[in-house]
A and B are shown apart, each in its own frame.
Chain A
Amino acid sequence: MAMSVRVRLGSQFRNIMRVCFHENRHMSTAEIVVEKSENPKEPERISLEEQQRLNDIAKNERMEKLLNMRFAYQEFLPDPNPKNRNTLKERLERRDMLARRSNVEIPEFYVGSLVAVMHSDPHAPGKNNRFMGICIQKIGAGLRASFILRNFIDGEGVEINFDMYDPTIQRIDVIRLEKRLDEELFYLRDAPPEYSTFPVDMEPEYQPEGSAVPVNEIKVPLKPLPWLVKWERMGMKGIRDVTSMLTEKRLRMSKLKQFNKPWEKYDLLKMYSETIPIEDQVEIFSEIQEKLHELEQHRYKMKRSRNFVKPTKMG
């Protein structure tokens, strides 16, 4: 019989996301070794070789900065399936995405972050609607990128799927920026309600600029059986130990070899065909970097000017 809930694994993007959250692995089979620059302050006679080396380091650093954009701007990487790839189409799509980004701020957020979306809704009385919740999935490349928010409202679990580049979205606010241990949090459906309950009118939490995105290492307990998915086989990190809940047979089954795929981490070709090569990534991100930086600067200025106009009362 079919599994109770078909978890859309989205094999192509899943791999990217998995790689995104494992810093030790890169997006391509080729490894980049980035050396740390030491910044020698004393003016020394620098030989040609030394200069070459420093140049290389600077270049590597620039490269690393560029490639790190794959975490925040993951949807700019195209569908890795070579059958669907076309340079012109990808460029046009990126142009459309940047055009949309110049009209609405699409902030950086990850699976596990608390996000509020304000969107125009023709069915709502005020023609506007707001939903806030925890992001349990981020999927899709290009204009197809979408994410799912989950929250408990009036004792009822609610999930809404949004398109990231939907022009009816007026504002996306990140209430709390953090990551979780897994790239998909569908197990929250089988967890007690308090683990996905968040007050709708939560104040945004600000973090100091330039700090790394914190990882919430919470382990979620699951409700007693039955579950929607056989979580014991999924190898999720954010689930508390469930062996005590399982029957002996199910436990035995979960340890069976047929569900383990130990060869997958050595399958270079699979990895290569399901990811975007580094050279392509550098090309893509160097193309969009300038525009994104410009937008960011503009927003920063606007934010500061707004703060100046409306000072908040202290005390």
Chain B
Amino acid sequence: MTTLLKVLYGFNPLKSFLTPKPDFLEITCRSKHRILPKPKKRFPPWLIKSTRSTRYEDELTSENKTFLKQLVQEKYPRPESGYGSYSPLNLNIVESAVEWSPSYQRAGLIARKIGVYPMWMKDGRKVLTTLFQVADNHVIKYQPPETYKPMITKRKTSLPPSKGSLIIGADSADPQLFTKEYCGLFEESGVMPKRLLARFHVSPEAALQPGTPLLASHFKVGQYVDIRGKTINRGFQGVMKRWGFHGMPASHGVTKTHRRPGNIGSGGKKARVMPGTKMPGHMGNRYRVLKAQRIVRINTKYNVLWVLGSASPGECNSCVQIFDTVLPLKNCNYLKQTPYFPTYYPGRDEELPEELMVDDLHNFNDPTIMFTEDEE
């Protein structure tokens, strides 16, 4: 029977309709409303496999290798005077001329968390800052709200239909590392294939042309941003580490229950464990958003953001998404700031110095902080 089915399947004219469409760009959050997403046992069929399983390096002669290298360099040359990497398809970036309005949602950035170190405020206070490097961000694709239909199987989408989808890639890499299908995603924008991709919901007014580079100066100093990242994977943990329970006494006749949760439910009518009870389980390795973090310093040469606080999700050298905060009392409108809209264009917007700092942060180039008597 199974063999018969297999044969039939092989000759099925509708095969192309039955197999899922490999359109990576239409994926939405698969686990948005679940607290604990089910572990995926296999590679999702709709996701394009990015990395090649085998690389035939040994079969290449040295001439072939140099030829391939040359080919890559020709196709994706280094920028001469511009910024970011160069896109041959988009020599002239079309700058949108729409004025910023508080209702518009701008694009975000993909950044790498590179470390934490202290800085001092002008009043002598020591603060910890987290450094994010904005690594080679480019717009890959934009889908307007009319054509953008996120693939959601069970639930209705909670997204307003007014938002389009903007795919942004970061961290350019050699195209030889990736599969042909994955490299095909970057044909429209003409940029080098990227290791990392992320999707942002943007207003149609804030849409960007594919191939547009995004820099750290997309944000302004003093602005508040949300940081979305994958938390540190801690594995299967008990309740003391995972939920901060106090455990049980070390002595006084206690045996074998020093780090256990104790009672997890009650008797009587509701003789069951209530849903959502805090229990041992897998800790970390899921996306979390840290909201309203203040950008205190920007380096425009290395594209580094200094963000106040040290609690951003993920470990050092992991990737995060940074976007304008959603909190109403911290956003640009409330704080009377005007962000670069839709993004910072080096030709159009004013030229920025290498270091940008908020007014109350001490610059290490400045002389020692002195307090005066009447300052109290």
Contact = CB atoms under 8 A, between A and B. Distances in A.
**Do any CB atoms of chain A lie under 8 A from CB atoms of chain B in the complex?**
yes
B120 A166 contact: yes
B117 A167 contact: no
Contact of A88 (B302, B315, B363, B370): B302
B131 interface: yes
Contact of A167 (B316, B369, B375): B369
Given A92-B299, A103-B368, A143 B117 contact: yes
Contacts of B316: 83-86
How would you classify the secondary structure of chain B's contact residues: helix, strand, loop or mixed?
loop
B115 A86 contact: yes
Contacts of B31: none
Most buried by A among B117, B372, B373: B117
Given A92-B131, A103-B368, A127-B373, A166 B126 contact: yes
Give the bracket for the number of chain B residues in contact with chain A: 20 to 34
Contacts, number: 80
Contacts of A169: 368
Nearest to A93: B117
Contact of B368 (A88, A99, A168): A168
B364 A104 contact: no
B371 A103 contact: no
Contacts of A142: 117
Contact of B366 (A93, A103, A121): A103
Contacts of B373: 127
Interface string A10-54: 000000000000000000000000000000000000000000000
B362 A167 contact: yes
Give the bracket for the number of chain A residues in contact with chain B: 20 to 34
Given A86-B316, A127-B370, A103 B365 contact: yes
A191 to B, nearest CB: 31
A120 B369 contact: yes
A86 B368 contact: no
Interface string A92-107: 1100110110111000
20 contacts: A84-B316, A85-B316, A88-B304, A90-B115, A92-B302, A99-B365, A100-B364, A103-B367, A104-B368, A120-B368, A120-B369, A120-B371, A143-B117, A143-B118, A144-B118, A165-B364, A166-B120, A167-B369, A168-B368, A169-B368
Interface of A: 83-86, 88-90, 92-93, 96-97, 99-100, 102-104, 120-122, 127, 142-144, 163, 165-170
